[in-house]
Amino acid sequence: MTAQTLPPDASVNDAPEKVMTRWLWLVGVVVLTAGILFGYDQGVISGALTGIKRSFNLTTLMVEIVTSWVTLGAMVGSLVAGTIADRFGRRATVLVAAALFISGALVEGFAPGTTVLIIGRLVVGSGVGVASVAAPLLASEMAPTRLRGRFISTYQFGITFGIFVAYLVDELLASGEWRLMLGLASFAGVVLVLLTLPLSDTPRWYLKVGRRADAEHSLQRVTRDNATAAIAELEARLDEDTATASWKEILAPRWRRPLVIGIGLAVFQQITGINAIIYYADKIFAAAGFSSVAGQTAATTWAIGAVNVLATLIAIAFVDRLGRKPLLLAGLVGMGVSLTVVGFAFLSLDHVTRTSSTAANAGSKGPSDAGIITLVALVVYIASFAFSLGPVVWTMINEIYPRQVRGRGVALATAANWFSAWLVSQFFLSIVKRLGEPVTFWIFALLCGVCFVWIRLKVPETKGRTLEEIETMWADESST
């Protein structure tokens, strides 16, 4: 659990030339593919649920478990990934994630009953968790400094693209073909293995384990600069860098602010509702009056999936120009307002359903005005998330921790993210059942408001600062 990223100022592969060598492209494609698999495994369940429910006759609790235990697996996966990455290398860790993706998807696809299906979900989930630490780590250690942000954003882009592809697959296949929907991820896992095998590990990891020649060779593949000089510099830094803090130390008062901020951002990213929408989109659209399954899946694919991908590009374009805080704050306003509107739309839907309950088949006419308003509001919500909390939270988690605590800080924040994702997806349907859709969406909206105030007051801007400057900033309490 001590995985560390390259120091920010390491000039390793920091060549000023057109830096994208063939190997760097390959690293980019590996990171993208890992993101796509992560997204696919998260998104595919939305369209598969109806078929699974029919095959296994599931209660609401079991539907929630089948949906959400991917995130529990991911929590465990993210906690152990750092240790695997330090001991066996970053490349090997990506291969472990791929192996978990492949085996989990096959178990899901051939599951004879609910228990095996849930085991498959846990295995796939641990792959998602391992990938969520390994891919950004590989990206940040291989990428030239100037392109590091873009490499990490590529990962988030992969996630959203994977969710979109999952929705498309859900739309193309009938819900009865849920085994194929879930099992298909194993092919993508095989592609990830094939792409990763020719890669070498990162220069930094080779140096850490004393394989200097391999480090130099690896560096030569990604830069045309003087690899020997860069390696010497990196080696010097490594000495300062190997003093990794213990778990106890990470809780020391001097690291408390970045720890709280990282975990806070990770938790808020989830408790403002994103995965309730991603996982249960079809069900939300059904409740909003999209009575045909085709209508529900089309709304999910395009209004949620495609918008999520496109709006992520906004973040990639502006995160380094406008800064993290403006994007986060603007996104939270959009998310809060749209969730409030969704709540009101459901309130009026409830009213219409009650008052027209005597009219036969009131719900079978297709989306009402309130249904259309829900659709539009959810588009605004997803777009607002995708240019703010989606990519910016991962970016900040990977840049706010001082070197000594980075590996553990990132692991803790990532695990907190998955735990909160689990909480939301596990209890969303039950909360809706108990409190109704309007109150549930208003709770998410309220949490957007709380997050807005907290970020405004407590979270510093990190744009344009080196990691050293960020480290110094924590020491100076008055800097926010």
Alpha-carbon distance of 80 to 352, in angstroms, equals 50
- Which residues 102-131 are close enough to bind ligand BGC by CB under 6 A? none
Contact in structure between 429 and 63 (CB atoms under 8 Å): yes
Nearer to ligand BGC among residue 160 and residue 440 (C-beta) = 160
Neighbours of 229 (CB within 10 A): 11
Q: What are the Cα distances from residue 441, in Å, to 37, 174, 267, 332, 428? A: 29, 29, 17, 14, 10
Near ligand BGC by CB under 6 A: residue from 97, 100, 274, 467: 274
Judged by CB under 6 A, which stretch of 57-65, 177-185, 217-225, 268-276 contacts ligand BGC? 268-276
Distance of closest approach, residue 425 Cβ to ligand BGC, in angstroms: 9
Alpha-carbon distance of 9 to 275, in angstroms, equals 36
Judged by CB under 6 A, which stretch of 104-112, 271-279, 324-332, 459-467 contacts ligand BGC? 271-279
Structure tokens at 259: 């720890």
Give yes or no for residue 421 binding ligand BGC (CB under 6 A): yes
Distance of closest approach, residue 23 Cβ to ligand BGC, in angstroms: 27
Give yes or no for residue 4 binding ligand BGC (CB under 6 A): no
| Residues in contact with ligand BGC, shown as a per-residue x/- string from 130 to 169 under the rule CB under 6 A | --------------------------x--xx--x------
| Residues in contact with ligand BGC, shown as a per-residue x/- string from 32 to 71 under the rule CB under 6 A | ----------x-----------------------------
> Is residue 376 classed exposed, middle or buried when 0-12, 13-18 and 19+ CB atoms within 10 A define those classes?
middle
Alpha-carbon distance of 278 to 386, in angstroms, equals 12
Strands (E), 88-206: none
Alpha-carbon distance of 224 to 255, in angstroms, equals 38
Nearer to ligand BGC among residue 401 and residue 418 (C-beta) = 418
Which amino acid, 166?
A
Find, among 89, 79, 95, the residue nearest to 208 by Cα: 89
Neighbours of 427 (CB within 10 A): 15
Nearer to ligand BGC among residue 223 and residue 425 (C-beta) = 425
Give yes or no for residue 390 binding ligand BGC (CB under 6 A): yes
Judged by CB under 6 A, which stretch of 60-68, 179-187, 272-280, 286-294 contacts ligand BGC? 272-280
Find, among 5, 65, 34, 204, the residue nearest to 130 by Cα: 34
Q: Please, which residues have CB within 8 angstroms of residue 389's CB and are 6 or more apart in sequence?
A: 265, 268, 269, 272, 274, 328, 331, 332, 335
Distance of closest approach, residue 312 Cβ to ligand BGC, in angstroms: 7
Q: What is the size of the binding site for ligand BGC (CB under 6 A)?
A: 14
Nearer to ligand BGC among residue 133 and residue 278 (C-beta) = 278
- Which residues 293-312 are close enough to bind ligand BGC by CB under 6 A? 308
Alpha-carbon distance of 47 to 195, in angstroms, equals 28
Distance of closest approach, residue 269 Cβ to ligand BGC, in angstroms: 6
Closest-by-Cβ residue to ligand BGC is 390
Task: Point out which residues bind ligand BGC (CB under 6 A).
Answer: 42, 156, 159-160, 163, 269, 274-275, 278, 308, 390, 394, 417, 421
